[in-house]
A and B are shown apart, each in its own frame.
Chain A
Amino acid sequence: MITFELSEEQIMAQSAMQDFASNVLGPAAQKADRAASADQATLDALWETGIVQSQIDQADSDRSAILNAIILEELGAGDASLAIALAAPFAFVRAIAQYGSQAQRASLAQFAESASFVPAAVALMEPQFGWDPRVLKTTAKKVDGGWQLDGAKTMVPFASKLAKVLVIAATPEGNKAFVVDGAAQGLRVAGAVATLGLRCLQMGDIALQGVRVSDQDVLGEGGEVDVQAIIDAGRAGLSAVMTGLSRAVTDYVIPYTKDRSAHGSALARKQVIAFRIADMHIETNAMRWMSWRAAFDVEKAPADATRSAQLAYTYSAGRCMSIADEALQAFGGHGYVRAHPIEMWYRNARALGMLEGLASV
């Protein structure tokens, strides 16, 4: 039966995350952006929410993709960059918890027990022009006692600090996911270069040169896993974060345009501005329902999830960018200077809609 009704637990989590996002993430956002790094205290506060750990404790049936989408929207409304800081290890942990073998799941104890933030990520994107998740250049080759990974991944969060990374690589039987230690031999991190947006993630490229992993490190019982399901969950997650960012932008534009006067009346009283704000609001709502729909499919109807997650991601990437763009335009020069967060949101919106694998529902 079709319904948009949230459970009490979901409403409570939503409200708690909203408080956390506005009290902790919002105030830390611009500082982390300028420093191109997040405070350890902020990362630890993110960790202490228990969102990542909750994936480990729960039985498969208790993990709720819808709840994850709700949480990611709230975090994204606080700050998209810090939201992804948590979503990246979340994506890693969820993939292992959901699809991992017994031994792989047991290895998550490292995450469950840590009192402080553990950097981890899913490494899907590749640096070459025209990269395509179906035709990855990073390869895994069967060797004695395991596999050998070669290739390069780009824009991996916390590239130089990774405890663990799930590398998606091409094999003759299609894409597989490999659990790789951050300190593995042959894994080389290119010198960190700051990025346009989502700067606190310290994203960087990693090169894999003859990295050896054992058979037990191939994700899934016996190495069987549908990597597309991880990509789908990632797209749904990014869509939720973009929903949050778009909402934050809209909420920030409303009081400003009501307050600022030009040519005899408040900006917001001019149809050209008011209509843009109405569209921001409508499109943000559409993004939310699409991310919920995708999350629902990821959990309950995986066969439909590839489509609905792609649609949610495509729509959100386009609209999140245009919402940030229109907001910047409404602010005029004030949108272009760093005194307001608009220019940061504009950069973050561009980045979010270009990335894959950095979140999950």
Chain B
Amino acid sequence: MVDFTLTEKDKQIIQIQLEDEQTVLKYARYYDQNHDELQPEELPEAKGRPNPYYMLQDSPDGTSGAVLTEAFLHLHTPDVRMRITRSGLGDKIVNYGGTPEQKARWGNKTLSIAITEPGAGSDPMMITGKARYDVATAEWILNGEKIYCSQFGMADGAVVMLRGEPDANNIRPFLSFVVEKGTKGLQVLGQVDKMGCRNWDTADFVLQDCRVPSINKLDVDFGGALQVFNGTRPMVAAMGLKYARSIMEAAVAKLEEQGQRIDYATNTNGRSAVQEKLLSMEAEYEAATMVILHSKWTEQNQGNASKLTMKEAAEAKAIGGRASRRISQEALALLGPAALSEEAFPEKWFRDTRIFDIFEGPGDICRLIVARHILGYSKKELS
């Protein structure tokens, strides 16, 4: 039966995240201003404190479910992470589709995933980075430039997606390789200088005649591996909404300082223009949140390989990303000129939230996925 009540254990786990959220705020400005400096694997405050994500994964009994309840943690993602998780999308792919030998070698390493290039974003067909096999040495020679790799600063390497030699139809196949740091020809370009989320480890690198042995070539069904996005899209949408909501809450707090609050009982005529704007933002926030929760509920029941999960994950990302943009822009304006100051966090949250309608599948790409699903179109019919 339909139920929207958090369990006691849900509340307990979420409470830890809420405390973490407040605790780490004191570091937020520092890492915002020092983007080249990676945060430590664990902040001093993390000592002796339970990790809410592990609590949930280790014993989901009594919660609304490991997948669904996690969405609430993401809706309260701390500005700076209490602890860095030593696992990236790259090692997940190795563990998903690698050979036993590859799993043994890299399964426990931290590997980013490197797909994006300066000329190839949401369309992987635009990837130009190349891999060529050298029969003489039984090595692969890799060339290309990869950008915006999450976690690459602290990672041991990356799973890199490149194109092989043209086949009989003159199409370059997609190939992927594990490239570890320290390999000759891998040049790390350092942290990306971003508008926001500046604490978020994001690095670029170049491969120049970088040679790796055959064992580094993964034989992975990338489509299968990328099903991981069906789980991460709503998660990322929730994280973006957290920043937008924080600005909105700051505006509500200002309203309350003036002895006002959003009056839900009355109608438009009974509310001030500011109250009305905040109400409409809150409604949009709530709409996005409900779509995220439903997509997580579907994932929890059907797994992240299901077509329905894929569609709903895209829905969550599309509505969440747009809501984050609109709410952050309008709420900052409501706060007034003083909110432009770096004295307080709203201006930071405004910058932070904007990426969430881009990475992990931009809103437009997510709309393509939803549209194909409901219109019954293939990729070729609707692109």
Q: Are A133 and B2 also in contact (CB < 8 A) when A1-B64, A2-B68, A289-B293 are? A: no
Cβ contact within 8 Å between A314 and B280: yes
Listed stretches B3-11, B129-137, B193-201, B243-251; interface member:
B3-11
Q: Which residues of the other chain, A, contact B269 by a CB distance below 8 angstroms?
A: 130-132
Q: Which residues of the other chain, A, contact B315 by a CB distance below 8 angstroms?
A: 281-282, 285
Of all chain B residues, the one with the shortest Cβ separation from A280 is B374
Cβ contact within 8 Å between B318 and A278: yes
Cβ contact within 8 Å between B282 and A311: yes
Q: Which residues of the other chain, A, contact B364 by a CB distance below 8 angstroms?
A: 271, 275
Cβ contact within 8 Å between A268 and B377: yes
- Report A276-296 CB contacts with B as 1/0, cut-off 8 Å: 011101110111011011001
Q: Which residues of the other chain, A, contact B377 by a CB distance below 8 angstroms?
A: 268-269, 274
Cβ contact within 8 Å between A281 and B287: no
The answer to whether the Cβ of B203 comes within 8 Å of any Cβ in the partner chain is no
The answer to whether the Cβ of A20 comes within 8 Å of any Cβ in the partner chain is no
Q: Which residues of the other chain, B, contact A269 by a CB distance below 8 angstroms?
A: 377, 381-382
Q: Are A296 and B2 also in contact (CB < 8 A) when A3-B297, A134-B270, A282-B315 are? A: yes
Enumerate B176-212 residues with CB–CB distance to A below 8 Å. Answer: none
Cβ contact within 8 Å between A315 and B297: no
Shortest beta-carbon distance from A216 to chain B in Å: 27
The answer to whether the Cβ of B1 comes within 8 Å of any Cβ in the partner chain is yes
The answer to whether the Cβ of B54 comes within 8 Å of any Cβ in the partner chain is no
The answer to whether the Cβ of B155 comes within 8 Å of any Cβ in the partner chain is no
The answer to whether the Cβ of A225 comes within 8 Å of any Cβ in the partner chain is no
Cβ contact within 8 Å between B7 and A1: yes
The answer to whether the Cβ of B103 comes within 8 Å of any Cβ in the partner chain is no
Interface centre among A3, A131, A254, A300 (most CB of B within 10 A): A3
Q: Which residues of the other chain, A, contact B266 by a CB distance below 8 angstroms?
A: 132-134
For A66, give its contact among B2, B65, B297 (CB under 8 Å): B2
Interface centre among B7, B68, B265, B269 (most CB of A within 10 A): B265
The answer to whether the Cβ of A5 comes within 8 Å of any Cβ in the partner chain is yes
Cβ contact within 8 Å between A315 and B375: no
Q: Are A282 and B370 also in contact (CB < 8 A) when A3-B1, A132-B270, A268-B375 are? A: yes
Cβ contact within 8 Å between B287 and A287: yes
Q: Which residues of the other chain, A, contact B371 by a CB distance below 8 angstroms?
A: 268, 274-275, 277-278
Shortest beta-carbon distance from B24 to chain A in Å: 26
- Report A249-289 CB contacts with B as 1/0, cut-off 8 Å: 00000100010000000001101001101110111011101
Of all chain B residues, the one with the shortest Cβ separation from A70 is B2
Cβ contact within 8 Å between A310 and B291: no
How many chain B residues touch A (CB < 8 A): the figure is 47
Contact-residue bracket for chain A: 35 or more
Give CA–CA (A274, B364) in the complex, Å.
10
Give CA–CA (A258, B381) in the complex, Å.
11
The answer to whether the Cβ of A83 comes within 8 Å of any Cβ in the partner chain is no
Give CA–CA (A20, B307) in the complex, Å.
30
Shortest beta-carbon distance from B233 to chain A in Å: 13
The answer to whether the Cβ of A135 comes within 8 Å of any Cβ in the partner chain is yes
Of all chain B residues, the one with the shortest Cβ separation from A129 is B269
The answer to whether the Cβ of B284 comes within 8 Å of any Cβ in the partner chain is yes
Cβ contact within 8 Å between A318 and B280: yes
Give CA–CA (A319, B286) in the complex, Å.
14
Give CA–CA (A286, B294) in the complex, Å.
9
Cβ contact within 8 Å between A283 and B270: no
The answer to whether the Cβ of B290 comes within 8 Å of any Cβ in the partner chain is yes
Enumerate A295-348 residues with CB–CB distance to B below 8 Å. Answer: 296-297, 300-301, 306-312, 314-315, 318-319
Shortest beta-carbon distance from A115 to chain B in Å: 33
Q: Are A7 and B265 also in contact (CB < 8 A) when A278-B367, A318-B280 are? A: no
Give CA–CA (A154, B237) in the complex, Å.
42
The answer to whether the Cβ of A22 comes within 8 Å of any Cβ in the partner chain is no
Interface centre among B63, B267, B318, B377 (most CB of A within 10 A): B267
The answer to whether the Cβ of A356 comes within 8 Å of any Cβ in the partner chain is yes
Give CA–CA (A268, B374) in the complex, Å.
11
Give CA–CA (A66, B2) in the complex, Å.
8
Cβ contact within 8 Å between B270 and A274: no
Q: Which residues of the other chain, A, contact B287 by a CB distance below 8 angstroms?
A: 283, 286-287, 290, 315, 319
The answer to whether the Cβ of A6 comes within 8 Å of any Cβ in the partner chain is yes
Cβ contact within 8 Å between B286 and A311: yes
Known: A268-B371, A290-B286, A296-B3. 20 other contacts (CB 8 A): A1-B63, A2-B4, A2-B297, A3-B1, A4-B293, A7-B1, A133-B266, A274-B367, A274-B382, A275-B371, A278-B367, A278-B370, A281-B370, A285-B315, A287-B287, A289-B291, A289-B294, A306-B264, A310-B265, A311-B283
A-B contact pairs, 28 of them (CB 8 A): A1-B3, A1-B7, A2-B297, A3-B64, A3-B297, A10-B1, A131-B269, A228-B265, A254-B375, A258-B375, A268-B377, A271-B368, A274-B367, A274-B377, A275-B364, A277-B375, A278-B368, A285-B294, A285-B315, A286-B288, A293-B290, A296-B4, A309-B264, A311-B264, A311-B279, A311-B283, A315-B284, A318-B280
* Interface positions of A (Cβ within 8 A of B): 1-7, 10, 66, 130-135, 228, 231, 254, 258, 268-269, 271, 274-275, 277-279, 281-283, 285-287, 289-290, 292-293, 296-297, 300-301, 306-312, 314-315, 318-319, 356
* Interface positions of B (Cβ within 8 A of A): 1-7, 10, 63-65, 68-69, 263-267, 269-270, 279-280, 282-284, 286-288, 290-291, 293-294, 297, 315, 318-319, 364, 367-368, 370-371, 374-377, 381-382
Which 7 A-B residue pairs are closest in the complex by CB-CB distance?
A: A289-B290, A286-B287, A274-B371, A315-B283, A310-B264, A278-B370, A2-B64
